Chains A and B, each alone.
Chain A
Amino acid sequence: MSKQPTTEAGRPESGVVQQLARDDLERKRFLKIAGKTMGPGAAAAGLAAFIAACGSAKSSSSSSSTGSASTPASTTPSGSGDLAIVNYALTLEYLEAQFYDNVIASHLFSGPTLSTLKAFGSEEHQHVAALMTVASSLGAPAVKPTGKFPLTSASSVAKLAATVENLGAAAYLGQAGNIKSKEILAAALSIHTVEARHAATLNTVLKLSPTPDGAFAKPMDMPSVLAAVKPFIA
């Protein structure tokens, strides 16, 4: 499966997000996942490269597979086992929720596009609330990070939103096999596909493929994700 985003049909804008699409978005595919062969296992490199192509993080193309099973607990935000994973997810959701809050407050968007962003933001807040409660039941919830996001133009914000959502989807996918509790796994899966829906929507708006990885979405391991979000933590 070599990654050729151009072989995936670009999706013209439709309905809800026309305004956003009109914002003369840079058509250049920022989702440049160099044509590497990758199976469902060797996934992290692609997204890392894609983040790097956005100029927002250094590439960590050496990162390996799904194998966050081997992720040492010391790299996790806090706690160990399921708590560490829940806190990791909570940290990402905090950032996403704050990102949308800031975007909404920026007045860069209006109309149906703003409504979509508000809906996505409120869904991220739902994730925060759920994960915070779960983390509290397991131990100590992660401390809320302070995000810093460049909100300069509608087009750059739209791209950043897509970046964040694709990263989030890959992050959840990367942890599925590490979660011990079936209940927490079920919740993570339930959140994972919502992140995927957000990502596909934003990609479509940006005239990128809704399925940049083709038929099999690629996971991303914890160190790579944390490296990718680091620039957005104040």
Chain B
Amino acid sequence: MTDSNIVSPELAAIEVHGISRASFILRGAMTAGALYGATAVGPYVGSALAASGGGDLEILNFALTLEYLETDFYEHKAKMVNLGGEAKSLAALIAGHEQQHVDALIKAIQGAGGTPVKQPTFVFPVTDQASFLKLAYVLENTGVGAYNGAGPALSNPAYLAAAGSIVQVEARHAAAIGLLTGQPVTPDRGFDKPLTKAQVLAKAGPLIKA
């Protein structure tokens, strides 16, 4: 899926190929037990291994871009729409986490001798608390799918450990927002669907201005 709709060059890179026999076995296994729809393990695993020259640094920068996006959303947009009550405290809690994810990723990228991407400018089509929470739910679930999709492509185990630690928190955010807003806490039922780069871009890309 080398799509041409790459909104931001930083968001290139999580393509992976190579469906093995094991993924077919796994696909059978998952469909056997699950009602989770058409997406099976194989395809997304196929899109999560060994990017064409991408590598860990590109994945980390991709993650950093998403974390910038989330941080900006919870830090700034939350104030603009004047959240109240539980929504306000939850957004504040999450904002702090996302900022820590940004800091950790920048450190990891620099530690690996890479250059962290600059924070893009974002635009969020959100006008009130309801639309804020609706987008928050999408963003968190997209974050879960993005990390889960990219995880297997990471070659450095330390980065995988960090990504796992972060994605678990994104999943917890998603569930907390789902619970608050009456949306499913497990939208994919037993198996969270990993997302390919193209799928992440389809959701997050339009929010990236420059």
A142 within 8 A of B: no
User: Quick one: given A127-B190, A182-B48, are A200 and B33 in contact (CB under 8 Å)?
Assistant: no
Known: A129-B29, A130-B33. Is A190-B168 also a contact (CB below 8 A)? no
Q: Decide: A189 near B33, CB < 8 A? Known: A119-B186, A196-B168, A217-B165.
A: no
Q: Which residues of B contact A118 (CB under 8 A)?
A: none
Residues of A within 8 A of B193 (CB): 190
Q: Considering the complex, which residues of chain A in the window 53-96 have a beta carbon less than 8 Å from any beta carbon of chain B?
A: 66, 69
Looking at the complex, which one of A116, A130, A184, A185 makes contact with B191 (CB distance below 8 Å)?
A: A130
Q: How far is the CA of A9 from the CA of B49 in the complex (A)?
A: 37
- Which residues of chain A from 175 to 202 have a CB within 8 Å of any chain B CB? 176-177, 181-187, 189-194, 196-201
**Closest residue of A by beta carbon distance from B50:** A182
Question: A199 vs B175: C-alpha distance in the bound complex, in angstroms?
Answer: 9
Partner of A190, one of B104, B175, B192: B192
Q: Is A219 an interface residue (CB 8 A)?
A: yes
- Separation in Å of the B71 CB from the closest CB of chain A? 11
A219, B161: Cβ atoms closer than 8 Å: yes
Nearest chain B CB to A196's CB is how many angstroms away? 4
A137–B33 Cα distance when bound, in Å, is 15
Against B, the Cβ 8 Å flags (1 = close, 0 = not) of A195-234 are 0111111001000011101111111000000000000000
A126 contacts across to B, CB distance below 8 A: 30, 33-36, 189-191
At the interface with chain B, which of A12-20, A44-52, A102-110, A150-158?
A12-20
A162 sits at the interface (CB 8 A): no
| A40 adjacent to chain B (CB < 8 Å) | yes
Tally of A-B Cβ pairs under 8 angstroms: 226
Measured in the bound complex, the distance between the Cα atoms of B166 and A203 in whole Å is 18
A133 within 8 A of B: yes
In the bound complex, residues from chain B placing their C-beta under 8 Å from that of A190 are 41, 148, 191-194
How many residues of A are in contact with the other chain, CB < 8 A? 63
Asked if B194 and A197 make an inter-chain contact with CB atoms under 8 angstroms apart, the answer reads: no
Known contacts A14-B86, A130-B32, A183-B41; is-contact A215 B190 (Cβ 8 Å) = no
Residue of B nearest to A169 (CB): B168
In the assembled complex, the Cα of A146 lies from the Cα of B86 at a distance in Å of: 40
Closest to A9 in B: B89
B151 x A176 contact (CB < 8 A)? yes
Give the interface of B toward A (CB within 8 A): 18, 20, 22-23, 25-26, 28-30, 32-36, 41-42, 44-45, 48-49, 86, 89-90, 92-93, 96-98, 100-101, 104, 144, 147-148, 151-152, 157, 160-162, 164-176, 178-180, 182, 185-186, 188-194
Add 5 more A-B contacts to A15-B179, A215-B97 (CB < 8 A): A15-B182, A116-B185, A190-B41, A201-B179, A219-B165
Q: Which 10 A-B pairs have the closest CB atoms?
A: A129-B33, A126-B190, A133-B29, A217-B168, A200-B172, A193-B171, A215-B100, A215-B97, A196-B171, A197-B175
Interchain Cβ contacts under 8 Å between A and B, 15 examples = A15-B182, A126-B189, A129-B32, A130-B190, A131-B29, A169-B168, A177-B160, A182-B48, A183-B41, A186-B41, A193-B148, A196-B169, A200-B175, A201-B175, A211-B93
Q: Which residues of A contact B (CB under 8 A)?
A: 8-9, 11-12, 14-17, 40-41, 66, 69, 116, 119-120, 122-134, 137, 169, 173, 176-177, 181-187, 189-194, 196-201, 204, 209-211, 213-219
